[in-house]
């Protein structure tokens, strides 16, 4: 089996998890000729899904069955059957019996067939449900067909909050279904607008936002759904990826604060060139208005190109994503008529930074930040600047994760005891155990004034008073002492961060110590001479 190592230049802006270069390695691949040996002679694989509750893959044979695969090897995990021990297989007779399969967060499995109103046999549109992988009595609900349905399919929620979303070619309708006590029923049909089909895929961001893979004239789009009215709140956004890259599938996924899309296949009816139909491309869509093209893997690197070897030059595809415990991601990629493969990010996703703040706490410049997860993290360089442009390292904070790894939130606090008087700007640089680093772009500032930092003691005083400027930046600082009548009785320039001022020649009384920097008054302190 070939191993393919691609360097993915994850050039994400802002806080990032994929922001460093992370290699992508092929775990296994089964070309058409190999897949026929494993899965049978038909090459009708049109969908794939990952079940995180059982750690199994479900591979759709759209005319026949749904097979269970071992995600580690791509081989059959069970006998050649539906994704549960049903024997005999129910006598479900519709054509294109399964096109897509999806798994809800509670482990329930849903699948749909492909049905059209122009079907001469007047077949029904069907939704199948298995309560779990061990469900011996899967349910099947039929719906009358007025438009083509089943090309695209998505699921959100759990239990009675589960919602199913179905789209099809040749119409601008997305149909929404609900699940009540395990029974599927239709809620409403959503008008997507002229030519805005959910032809290739529906990938939920939430239960109100979705990424749609539409025809070549539309491309990859985002919609926002009004769940109550069943309408679109906003017009479809501008195509979120370059128009020359037209895909049949867009799979949205999240890592920490970063958002991504794995795109694959080719728009049905298109003419992919340069093997484009068997590639999986990854985009950073944290800022959906400005997606960042990261890199791609070619599903079946071979000569001659896989597109010429497959039965479907359009390369209709599907992708499932698994987040691994060590912070890596594994992608399962099937291309209709060609086969399937699995890739894993060979490196870890170093740090997912969820917040970074700076504030004046107890007259001290204090930084706080939180990570959602950490992998291979040595720690953080704390950088400071007085102009917001030129930053230098002032300290290093070691990772709190065990051996630099954590799957839970970690909180950090750092107090800058050497902050300069005036505005201080801060950044963080995350450093891996192997020396690689990432500069987080977020910049925070704290204004440290003499009024907040100067300490005068003892007070009352006898022979002398000690003045601490609260900063090593004492140049330009001047101390002036005035009596109750406003007469200046003493004046000294700061010679160090802390210095003593003699009061031995002054009579006992109340005085006022004025502190200025560069001739600008910062603070006045009432002082009692005993």
Sign of torsion over alpha carbons 243, 244, 247, 250: negative
Greatest extent of the chain over all pairs of C-alpha atoms, in Å: 112
Residue 154 Ramachandran class (φ > 0 left, ψ -120 to 50 alpha, else beta): beta
Residue 352 Ramachandran class (φ > 0 left, ψ -120 to 50 alpha, else beta): beta
Q: Is 493 exposed, middle or buried (0-12, 13-18, 19+ CB in 10 A)?
A: exposed
- Contact between residue 216 and residue 246 where contact means Cβ atoms under 8 Å apart: yes
Sign of torsion over alpha carbons 250, 254, 255, 257: positive
- Contact between residue 206 and residue 156 where contact means Cβ atoms under 8 Å apart: yes
Tell me, what DSSP letter sits at residue 237?
Answer: P
Sign of torsion over alpha carbons 120, 122, 125, 129: negative
Tokens 């959602």, residue located? 372
- 116-120, Cβ contacts within 8 angstroms, sequence gap of 24 or more: 116/145, 116/147, 116/148, 116/149, 116/168, 117/145, 117/146, 117/147, 117/148, 118/148, 119/95, 119/145
First to last CA, the chain: 89
- Contact between residue 153 and residue 142 where contact means Cβ atoms under 8 Å apart: no
Domains along the chain with CATH numbers? 5-345 (2.120.10.30), 351-448 (2.70.50.50), 451-529 (2.60.40.10)
Tokens 């849903």, residue located? 110
In degrees, to the nearest 5, what angle opens at C-alpha 220 toward C-alphas 59 and 327?
55
Q: Quick one: tokens of 422?
A: 């005036």
Q: Which pLDDT score is estimated for 381?
A: 95
Q: Which pLDDT score is estimated for 147?
A: 87
Per-residue tens of pLDDT for the chain, all 530 residues:
222 222 222 222 222 333 334 567 889 988 776 655 556 655 677 889 999 999 999 998 877 788 889 999 988 877 665 665 544 556 666 667 888 999 999 999 999 988 887 655 556 899 999 999 888 888 999 898 888 899 899 999 999 999 999 998 888 899 999 999 999 999 999 988 766 678 889 999 988 889 888 766 667 788 888 888 778 765 445 455 554 456 778 899 887 666 788 888 776 555 555 566 777 888 777 777 767 666 667 665 544 444 444 445 556 789 999 988 776 789 999 888 778 889 887 655 456 677 899 988 876 789 999 887 777 789 999 999 988 888 999 999 999 988 888 767 889 999 887 777 778 899 999 998 878 788 887 889 888 765 555 677 788 888 888 887 666 667 778 888 888 777 888 888 888 877 888 888 888 888 888 887 777 776 777 888 88
Q: Which pLDDT score is estimated for 30?
A: 83
Q: Which pLDDT score is estimated for 2?
A: 28
Cα–Cα distances in angstroms (integers) from residue 364 to residues 259, 414, 446, 470, in the given order: 35, 10, 9, 9
| 3-state SS assignment for residue 467 | strand
Q: Which pLDDT score is estimated for 303?
A: 45
Q: Which pLDDT score is estimated for 34?
A: 64
- Contact between residue 77 and residue 85 where contact means Cβ atoms under 8 Å apart: no
């Amino acid at each position: 089996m070939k191993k393919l190592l691609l360097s993915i230049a994850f050039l994400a802006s802002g806080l990032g998890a994929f922001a460093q270069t992370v290699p992508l390695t092929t775990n296994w691949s089964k070309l058409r000729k190999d897949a026929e040996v494993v899965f049978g002679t038909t090459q009708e694989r049109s969908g794939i899904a990952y079940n995180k509750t059982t750690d199994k893959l479900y591979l759709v044979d759209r005319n026949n069955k749904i097979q269970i695969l071992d995600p580690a090897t791509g081989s059959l995990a069970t006998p050649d059957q539906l994704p549960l021990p049903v024997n005999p297989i129910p006598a479900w007779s519709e054509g294109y019996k399964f096109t897509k399969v999806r798994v809800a967060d509670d482990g329930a499995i849903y699948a749909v067939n492909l049905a059209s109103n122009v079907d001469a046999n007047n077949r029904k549109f069907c939704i199948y449900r298995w309560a779990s992988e061990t469900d011996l009595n899967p349910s099947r609900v039929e719906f009358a067909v007025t438009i083509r349905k089943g090309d695209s399919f998505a699921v959100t929620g759990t239990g009675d909050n589960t919602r199913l979303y179905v789209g099809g070619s040749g119409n601008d309708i997305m149909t929404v279904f609900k699940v009540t006590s395990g029974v599927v029923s239709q809620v409403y049909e959503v008008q997507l607008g002229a030519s805005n089909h959910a032809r290739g895929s529906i990938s939920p961001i939430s239960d109100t936002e979705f990424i749609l893979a539409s025809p070549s004239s539309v491309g990859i789009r985002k919609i926002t759904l009004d769940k109550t009215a069943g309408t679109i709140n906003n017009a479809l956004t501008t195509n979120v990826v370059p128009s020359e890259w037209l895909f049949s599938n867009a799979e949205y996924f999240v890592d920490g604060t970063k958002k991504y899309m794995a795109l694959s296949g080719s728009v049905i009816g298109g003419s992919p060139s340069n093997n484009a139909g068997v590639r999986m491309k990854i985009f950073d869509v944290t800022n959906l208005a400005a997606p960042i093209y990261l890199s791609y893997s070619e599903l079946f690197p071979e000569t001659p190109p896989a597109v010429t070897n497959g039965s479907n030059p359009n390369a209709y595809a599907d992708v499932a994503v698994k987040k691994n415990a060590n912070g890596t991601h594994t992608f399962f990629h099937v291309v209709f008529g060609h086969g399937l493969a699995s890739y894993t990010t060979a490196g870890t996703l170093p740090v997912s930074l969820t917040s970074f703040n700076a504030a004046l706490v107890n007259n001290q410049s204090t930084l706080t930040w939180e990570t959602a997860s950490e992998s291979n993290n040595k720690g953080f360089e704390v950088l400071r600047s007085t102009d917001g442009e030129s930053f230098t390292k002032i300290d290093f904070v070691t990772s709190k994760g065990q051996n630099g790894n954590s799957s839970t939130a970690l909180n950090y606090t750092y107090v800058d005891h050497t902050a300069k008087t005036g505005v201080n700007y801060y950044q963080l640089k995350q450093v891996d155990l192997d020396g690689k680093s990432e500069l987080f772009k977020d910049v925070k500032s704290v204004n440290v004034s003499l009024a907040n930092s100067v300490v005068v003691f003892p007070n009352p005083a006898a022979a002398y008073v000690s003045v601490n400027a609260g900063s090593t930046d004492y140049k330009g600082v001047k101390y002036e002492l005035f009596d109750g009548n406003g007469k200046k009785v003493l004046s000294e320039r700061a010679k160090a961060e802390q210095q003593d001022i003699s009061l031995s020649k002054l009579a006992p009384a109340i005085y006022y110590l004025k502190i200025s920097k560069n001739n600008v008054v910062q603070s006045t302190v009432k002082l009692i001479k005993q």
